[in-house]
Structures are given as structure tokens and as C-alpha cells.
Amino acid sequence: MRRTLSAVLALVSVISATPPAAAGPGYVELALLPGGTKGSAVDINDAGVVVGRGTDAAGRAKPVRWDAEGRITELTPPPGATPGKVFGVDADGAAYGNTSAPGRNSQATRWNPDGSTTVLDVPPGDTYSFALAVNDGGTVVGYSGDYATGVRRAVRWGRDGAATVLPAPGPAATTAAEASAIDEAGVIAGIATTEDDLAHHVRWDDGVLTVLGVVPGATYSAVTDVNGRYVVGRVQRGDRTAFGVRWDGTALSEVPSPTGDHSLMHAVDAEGTAFGQVTSRPARWAADGAVSIMALPDGYAAGEVLELNDRGVAAGTAISRYHRPIRWSASGEVTLLPAPSGTSGSAQGINDAGVVVGEYGGRPLLWP
């Protein structure tokens, strides 16, 4: 049953009376909530709508949305719920995250463009839900479960908020599954841990399950991105070595760093090129497995790629004493993104125009 707790609510969120944004040299400092002192931008759509968080006058963290003109709106929780966190925004400007309600520590929530909220369905028999990812079309993935039994099931939510429990590789009562990535065509990937305590990487195409397999010796496994036939993730073995993994269809490639230390994969494009980090350096893996270290700004010896758009533009972090947001062009040129005074910051989202959002020194920023 669809649970739309406030489908016809008037917009009761707070809109900042301060100027919507202050322009700096090469960046835009997004508005804060009235009386607030901190914020962070975590995602941006192609229309320029940004979501993230900000503090109110009492210092409490609240989910927020900035429209394309930079005006800030506090995303109020559904009736009876407490404020949660937002992680994404779809092409229409709807924001997605999780809130809490009595008897339900987590419930997947959508904040609609008109300011109303929709609590996404919790499947029958479950007591909570948690959303992890959304695509531009507003299809959401995550998991639901029951606190009493410990069951966890991978779930897909449609635009209407209805939940579909995705099939698992083992009995529902003994399999803990979650869907953590979705591409624009609706292909989903995630992890399913079966009763033998093995974590299987899995994917769902139109709801049909494909088990990609277990990485031998892995003590921790995660899926970070999916794009068509390609799935990327990371694993860790008992000796604490971490390395990226990539599937081309069902074929697994392990991609440890050339020095044998560690590697991480965060994103993959439609051709199977993956991006992440190798031994503290930003890295790019070609579809044939060849790895190349990506450029860093002068004075920086470490960093990683965190975000990638559909045009091959990437964003991430350069690391020295402090963390600085950076952006790479599709051809690999790196730019140290300008920032106001402060200490560290990070890039946390990018749209197809290459606009990056994040934070620096506790302030929400946008880099055109």
C-alpha cells in the first residue's frame, strides 16, 4: 500500500531571506538557512537543482534543497517523523533520502518538487526501509527489513512510491540483500549475503537476478556503481588489502594496484572504463584492464576520483595537508577548484554539464 503522508501539504519549509548565493572567484557559495552557519551540497541535477544539508539557528542539521536560482528550502519531514538526510535529486527536482518515525528507525522518503513528502512503501512484513540510490527518472533502490527477525531484502521503488522486493540468491529468511546502485536504464546492482555468510555481488535486469559471484577470500564486499553491462565495487581480504573489482557481464576482473597495496573503484562509464584510486593516487582503468594514474595539481601527491558524469568529466579530491576539490576534463586535464578561506573540503556531486557541488570549510559550494 502506498503511504503518501503529505501528498497535498502546502510548502511549509523555510526559505532563506538572505541573498541566494554569493559569487566568488570561480565558485558560488550557496545560501545557508536563516541563522545557520554550516552546510554541504551532495548532489545536483542537470537543471541545476542542488540538495544537501544545512544547520538551522540552533545548530541542528536539516536536509535542504537549492533551486536553480540558488534559493534554499528546508526539506521538512513527513508528519510525525524526524528530520533525516538527503542523498540525491532526480531530473524533476525531487529529493531523496531517509527519515525516522515512531517504531521505524528509518523510512525511505521522497521530497516532491512542490514541497510535499512521500514515504516510500515498506513491503508487507517489514518494519523499516532505507534508500541508497536514485536515477534521473526517480527509480529508487535500497533495502527493507524486519528488526525482530533480522531479515533484510533488496528493494526497488517506482515513481509512485510502490515497493518491489527484488529476488535473492538464497531463502529470504536467511539472505541479507541490498541494492546500492542503479543506472539510467534501471539496471540495479548490490550485495546479497547468504546463510553460508558469503557476500555475493548481484545485479537485476528488469527484476531478473544474476549472481555475479563471490570474490575468493573476501571478508568485506560492496558495489559502488553500475552502468549497463558493467558493475564495479570493492572488496577487502583478511590481510586488510582492499582492491577494486569489475564485472563485464558476468566476467570478473580483480584490479589490485600495481604495487599490491590497495585500489578502489567508485564509478564506471558505459564503455567499462572505471575510475577511483590506486595506492593513494587517482586512477583510471581502461576496459582492457590497463591502469593509468591521473594528473594531480601541483603540490599534491595524493587524491582520488569520486564522481563521474556521462560526458567523461570527473570530480574528486586532492590530498596534502588538507583536502581540496578537483575536476578532470574528459581528456584528463586536472583543475584545482577554487575555494574560500577555510581548511578542507570535498567534491560530492557532478551533473552532465560538469557543474560540481560539495563543501569547503563547512560551507556549501557550487563550481560552474
DSSP 172: G
Q: What are phi and psi of 117, to 5 degrees?
A: -120, 150
- pLDDT confidence of residue 45: 98
Weakest mean pLDDT among 29-38, 156-165, 217-226: 217-226
pTM: 0.90
Residue-wise pLDDT for 321-362, tens only, equals 889 999 999 999 999 999 887 779 999 999 999 999 999 999
What b/e string do you get for 330-340 counting C-beta neighbours within 10 Å, with b at 16 or more? eeeebbbbebe
Residue-wise pLDDT for 134-154, tens only, equals 999 999 999 999 988 888 999
Cβ-contact 126, 153 below 8 angstroms: yes
User: Residue 110 burial (CB < 10 Å; 0-12/13-18/19+)?
Assistant: buried
* 139/161 Cα distance (integer angstroms): 9
Mean local confidence (pLDDT), 121-125: 95
Report in angstroms the alpha-carbon separations of 69 from 19, 49, 54, 86, 111. 10, 8, 17, 20, 19
Q: Measured in Å, how far apart are the chain's first and last C-alpha atoms?
A: 42
| Closest listed residue to residue 307, CA positions, set 190, 185, 187, 224 | 224
* 341/52 Cα distance (integer angstroms): 21
The most distant pair of C-alpha atoms in the chain lies apart, rounded to whole Å, by: 57
Three-class SS of residue 325?
A: strand
DSSP 197: S
H or E stretch covering 279: none
- The percentage of the chain sitting over the pLDDT mark of 90, rounded to a whole number, equals 73
